């Protein structure tokens, strides 16, 4: 890009010179002719092409119809894996479509487990999780194999999900999530984790969910994509439960912090900005 810019500046300069002095005194006209020759030579030898940055697919989650609260309730929830101590006990909390929650806690404290309880993949040992009867949740997980058929290409996969949509429509849909060109027809098992993440986001968005459950969504995204994800979340009119260590994302999207501690989920009652500052300091991030 620097080379391109340098060349363009040179060309501009030479053209201006030629226009100004081409018909001037003999000496200046000779110099203008010499510049014209240099310019022609540059063009002949091939100019550097402008580097066009690959367009970042912008994430977008379609807005679902509103569901009145409570959308998802935890009632006296307890859970533990067989032959293991309880991870949760007596949890009473609720989520609705305005919730913007970051679920944080030590490794192994049970964050992913809570998401599995919400999706019904796990069953409480006591108490209930009560979803609104019409609730649709969509979940991001890094366990791509749980969501994607890795033997298919993104194009094949989405065509099988939406048999009524034409190839062009599916291609342009995937393009919006940054899945473009050959990546659309490569077997998903061979894609990078970042590309697979984008396919999962395309999939999640297709679900038109009322609530997004995002489990470490940013691990394979670059900074620009993280910001794009944050923007998409911020215009999304549904609920969010985010499990993340990424303060950059948390600070952009969360309105509430839930701390998993001592088998309970405690709503952080300080100012979120204080919490963010605390974690930022811990992570040594800039303000």
Ligand X SMILES: Nc1ncnc2c1ncn2[C@@H]1O[C@H](COP(=O)(O)OP(=O)(O)OP(=O)(O)O)[C@@H](O)[C@H]1O
What are the residues binding ligand X (CB under 6 A)? 81, 84, 87, 105, 107-113
Query: What are the Cα distances from residue 238, in Å, to 81, 98, 232?
Result: 31, 6, 11
Q: Minimum distance between the CB of residue 136 and ligand X, rounded to whole angstroms?
A: 23
Q: Minimum distance between the CB of residue 265 and ligand X, rounded to whole angstroms?
A: 11
Residues 198 and 183 sit within 8 Å (Cβ to Cβ) = no
In the complex with ligand X, the residue whose CB is nearer, 109 or 195, is 109
The dihedrals phi and psi of 94, each to the nearest 5 degrees, come to -145, 155
Q: Which residue has the tokens 């984790």?
A: 193
Q: Are strands 256-261 and 264-267 parallel, antiparallel or unpaired?
A: antiparallel
Q: Minimum distance between the CB of residue 243 and ligand X, rounded to whole angstroms?
A: 7
Residue 38 has which token pair?
């240099």
Cα 180 to Cα 245: distance, rounded to the nearest angstrom: 29
In the complex with ligand X, the residue whose CB is nearer, 107 or 282, is 107
Cα 274 to Cα 93: distance, rounded to the nearest angstrom: 23
In the complex with ligand X, the residue whose CB is nearer, 17 or 144, is 144
Q: Minimum distance between the CB of residue 215 and ligand X, rounded to whole angstroms?
A: 8
In the complex with ligand X, the residue whose CB is nearer, 96 or 215, is 215
């Amino acid at each position: 890009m620097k080379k391109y810019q340098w060349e363009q500046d040179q060309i501009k300069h030479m053209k201006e010179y030629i226009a100004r002095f081409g018909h001037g005194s003999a000496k200046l006209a000779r110099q203008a002719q010499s510049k014209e020759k240099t310019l022609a030579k540059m063009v002949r030898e091939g100019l550097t092409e402008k580097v066009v940055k690959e367009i970042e697919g912008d994430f977008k989650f379609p807005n679902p119809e509103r569901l009145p609260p409570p959308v998802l309730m935890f009632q006296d929830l307890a859970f533990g894996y067989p032959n293991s101590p309880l991870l949760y006990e007596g949890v009473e909390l609720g989520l609705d479509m305005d919730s913007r929650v970051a679920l944080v806690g030590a490794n192994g404290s049970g964050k992913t487990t809570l998401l599995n309880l919400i999706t019904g993949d796990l069953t409480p040992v006591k108490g209930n999780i009560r979803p609104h009867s019409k609730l649709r949740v969509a979940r991001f997980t890094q366990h791509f194999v749980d969501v994607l058929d890795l033997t298919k290409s993104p194009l094949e996969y989405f065509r099988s999900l939406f048999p009524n949509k034409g190839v062009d429509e599916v291609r342009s849909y995937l393009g919006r999530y940054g899945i473009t060109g050959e990546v659309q027809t490569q077997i998903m098992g061979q894609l990078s984790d970042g590309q697979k993440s984008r396919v999962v986001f395309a999939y999640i968005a297709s679900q038109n969910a009322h609530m997004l459950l995002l489990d470490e969504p940013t691990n394979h995204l670059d900074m620009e994509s993280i910001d794009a994800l944050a923007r998409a979340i911020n215009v999304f009119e549904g609920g969010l439960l985010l499990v993340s260590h990424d303060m950059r994302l948390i600070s952009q999207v969360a309105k509430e912090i839930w701390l998993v501690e001592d088998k309970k989920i405690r709503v952080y009652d300080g100012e979120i900005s204080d919490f963010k500052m605390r974690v930022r300091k811990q992570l040594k991030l800039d303000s």
